[in-house]
Structures are given as structure tokens and as C-alpha cells.
Amino acid sequence: MISIGGFLKNASRFRSNISALRRKGSPAKALGLREAVVNFGTFDFGFTCIVGKRSAVEAYGLWYFGDHLPDDGQDTRGMYWSFGNRTLIWIPRKPTTPEMIGALAHEVTHVIRAMFVTWAGLPLTRDTDEAYAHAMGYAMRELLTALK
């Protein structure tokens, strides 16, 4: 994963392209991707899940983060990226099987950790695990509803 410093350093060269893309709105549809956004409301934290071909993810990541996504391997079940308060999940197809719902839950677990540990500074302990569980349940319900 690229560091925040590296992201900020490289983001400036994409600023004009990103500004143009943002004025046009999300490129998901044009890239053949399905997009679902989950916001956690009072936490002022959210994430985006995109569904579709892996080959379109790099272009979406450029728009979403303002930089190229690091290639973290060849996982065909899903991937996760997080820079600051921007978090993105990719899965290859709509989660309709137990295997795909499990893969989505795996990626959402990374999002929940990013929200609580990285963003809010709240480690996972016996005293905080209930908040993690509720956030996980909320995120999965929202995504599965949006991706119907």
C-alpha cells in the first residue's frame, strides 16, 4: 500500500484531471462498475464498494483517490485500499453466494478496522468489540441492500 506521504506527493500531478473527473461525477458506470456508498453518519466516516472487472479498478482508483492504486496482488475475491478518510473496496461480482458474501465481509472487516483503529484511535479489545460488531453488521446490511 502506498504511504500517505507518497499519495500526497503524487496527487498534485493528477489534480487537474481529478477536478475534471469530479465535475462529471463518478466514473463507475462509464467503467462498467457498480458502486455502493456506505456512510456511518455520526462517525463522519464512510466507504465505497465497487463491483466489476478488476481491469477497471485502476481508473476508478485514480478518480477516487487522485492517485494510482498499488497492486496488492492477484486476489480475485476482493481488495481494499484506504488513504486518510477515503476507503475503497472492490469485489468482482455481486455477492450472491456464501463464498462471495464471505469475501465481502472479509473486505468490510478491513474497513471497520480502518475506521476504529486508524481513524478514531480505538483499538479492538474486549471492551470495544461490541462497537466493532455493530459497525460490521451495519456495513454489511447497507452493502447487501445497495447491491441487490
Q: pLDDT of 89-143, one tens digit each?
A: 999 999 999 999 999 999 999 999 988 888 888 888 999 899 999 999 999 999 9
Largest Cα span, the chain:
46
pLDDT in tens, 6-33: 433 443 433 344 444 455 678 999 999 9
| Ramachandran assignment for 81, one of left (phi > 0), alpha (psi -120 to 50 degrees), beta (any other) | beta
| Distance separating alpha carbons of residues 64 and 96, to the nearest angstrom | 26
Write down the pTM of the prediction.
0.78
| Distance separating alpha carbons of residues 148 and 37, to the nearest angstrom | 14
Determine the pLDDT at residue 137. 95
